[in-house]
Amino acid sequence: MTNPTTLQTPALLADMNTLERNLDRMAAYAAEHDLGLRPHVKTHKSSRVAQAQVERGVVGLTCATPREAEVMAVCHDDLLMAYPPLGGGRVERMLALPPAVRPMVALDSVEALQHLAHAAREAARTVRVLVELDLGMRRVGVSTPQEAVSLAQTVTDTNGIEFAGVAFYPGHLKNPGTEREEGLARLGQDLGTMLDALTTAGLPAGIVSGGSTPTAWETHRIPGVTEFRPGTYVYNDRTTVAAGACRLEDCALTVLATVVSTAVSGQAVIDAGSKGLGREPMSGDPALGYGELVGHPEVVVSRMSEEHGVLDLSRTAWRPTVGEQVRVLPNHVCIVVHLHDAVHGFRGESWEESWPVEARGRLPA
């Protein structure tokens, strides 16, 4: 294979130069500010990309699912499960990782802690725990200093478990500008209050783990943070551009698709629909559709069926022909990758390598 026209569509294309530049830039940012980089692998689900992150310097990797951890165990020995280890088999699979792996878990409840501790003692394996804090996202995490201290104390008192610090996810600070500035300031204050309470209680947080690509470049401005967990930055996407966290030319992954019908006037249909592109709207504006065409940003995927994406041609003079290939810049790259078996890496116009989305799915690796 030397060019994308031989690929069966829909297919994922990675621009290797852009991917490597994204990896370099985040590693340089982390080094410059003496922050630990612990990338979330959910975006790429690939040991190939994880290895490239590790080579540039990381303190560990972040996983959400057991399969992600199983795949990543060959890449690094410090794996954070940024997900409560509940549900049949989740803890057991983590504790069955190779002995060299030092698992760490973020959780927010005594129930999850006890479930973990019981299994850890059975497996004769020590697990580090981060207490998950809610700093405004309102998804998971304890929200008061009292709760944080209480849970940290219980963690410390639990056999087989080591209290390692705290984790939070600033995923609510999506929009750039004043909203994010004010949000960051408030988050910094709230985090400071939490950390002070823990220190006062004699439970200082060794690790203070932040995250998210939209706020990644502001991490050094949040006092106390020791590491961060961006995921999307490897590929970036339209949402990352809208969040002001990358430029359009920093988007490394596109969906190659074929125009399969132009029979209905005013539109063209491509073979990337909700099963290949994902039904992920841009925040707040339905007119932005589900993806935009590379080279024709005025053309968006305005409607989708499972295998059909409808290109709205009302704002363009461009008229594609049936059989023509196009590339779609997706709204949310983590979902797109999760829908595909493989990524095809190109250097300029030349195919360089392809790699499987190994950590996709739920089965044991």
In sequence order, which ranges of the chain are alpha helices (DSSP H)? 16-32, 47-55, 66-72, 90-95, 110-122, 145-156, 178-200, 238-242, 333-338
CB of 311 to a second copy, least distance (A): 12
Which residues contact a second copy (rule: CB under 8 A)?
5-11, 42, 64-66, 83-84, 86-90, 93, 108-109, 111-112, 115, 132, 134, 138-143, 147, 171, 257-264, 267, 269, 271, 274-275, 278-280, 303, 305-308, 310, 321-323, 325, 334-335, 338-342, 361-363
Contacts (Cβ under 8 Å, ≥6 apart) of 99: none
State the residue for tokens 């209680």: 201
Residue nearer to a second copy on the CB measure, 56 or 172: 172
Q: How far is the CB of 32 from a second copy (least distance, A)?
A: 29
Q: How far is the CB of 77 from a second copy (least distance, A)?
A: 23
Closer to a second copy by Cβ: residue 171 or 204: 171
Which residues, including other chains, have CB under 8 Å from residue 10's CB and lie 6 or more apart? Answer: 255, 256, 257, 270, 271, 272, 276, 277, 340
Instruction: Compute the least distance from the CB of residue 360 to a second copy, in Å.
Output: 9
CB 298 within 8 A of CB 315: yes
Q: Rounded to whole angstroms, what are the CA distances from 226 to 34, 212, 290, 347?
A: 8, 14, 36, 35
Short-list 74, 79, 73, 122, CA closest to 102: 79
Which of residues 17 and 305 has its CB atom nearest to a second copy in the complex? Answer: 305
Q: Which strand (E) or helix (H) includes residue 332? A: none
CB nearer to a second copy: give 35 or 71: 71
CB-wise, 35 or 328, nearer to a second copy? 328
> Burial letters for 87-117: b for 16+ Cβ neighbours within 10 Å, e otherwise?
eeebbebbbbbeeebbbbbbbbeeebbebbb
Q: At what angle do helices 110-122 and 145-156 cross, to 10 degrees?
A: 20
* CB 271, min distance to a second copy, A: 6
Distance from the first to the final alpha carbon of the chain = 28
Q: How far is the CB of 356 from a second copy (least distance, A)?
A: 9
Nearest distance from residue 31's CB to a second copy, in Å? 28
Indicate the length of the chain as a whole number. 365
CA pair distance 38, 250, nearest whole angstrom: 20
Contact residues for 228 (Cβ-Cβ < 8 A; gap 6+): 30, 35, 36, 37, 38, 209, 210, 211, 212, 216, 219
Query: Looking at beta carbons only, is 35 or 270 nearer to a second copy?
Result: 270
Rg of the chain taking only CA atoms, in angstroms? 22
Measured from the CB atom, is 178 or 286 closer to a second copy? 286
Nearer to a second copy, 160 or 171 (CB): 171
Identify which of residues 248 and 322 has a Cβ nearer to a second copy in the complex.
322
Considering only CA atoms, which of 89, 83, 73 is closest in space to residue 129?
83
Closest separation between CB of residue 221 and a second copy, Å? 24
Minimum Å distance from CB 55 to a second copy?
A: 26
